[in-house]
Amino acid sequence: MNRPFLLVTLILLAGSAAATPDTGLAAISDLGQLNGQALACGELAVVAQAKELVIRHAPKTRTYGALFEEQTNAGFLAQGQGREPCPTPADFAGRLGALSGRLQTALPAPPAR
């Protein structure tokens, strides 16, 4: 076996071992907050993308689903009660991209069937 291949394999295995259930839950929590804020700001394309990420990456369990919904509600209420203006579409896109990367690391999507 050649050394570069072995090194790459070990790095990939170490990266996936570093992802814990807590990192997955934290990413879903942050995605829920973003989803709620996007709902409050009328950014429906962001809402659709956030839901797609949850469906693709989160395990289909009550824990993940409830956390996403709770954080969506919290984000919606915080945006509505706050004095801060809604983020720009570019800000939403940047945050969504960062969360997508975190989810791919913490909760890799299963292969398409």
Distance CA 69, CA 44 (A): 16
Q: Read off φ and ψ for residue 78, nearest 5 degrees.
A: -60, -40
pLDDT the model gives residue 5: 52
Amino acid at 56: R
- When pLDDT is averaged across residues 93-113 and rounded to a whole number, the result is 91
Q: Which of 47, 14, 19 is nearest to 104 (CA)?
A: 19
Distance CA 110, CA 57 (A): 8
Q: Which of 38, 31, 99 is nearest to 67 (CA)?
A: 31
pLDDT the model gives residue 111: 77
pLDDT in tens, 20-77: 779 999 999 999 999 999 999 999 999 999 999 999 999 999 999 999 999 999 999 9
Band of pLDDT at residue 3, cut at 50, 70 and 90: low
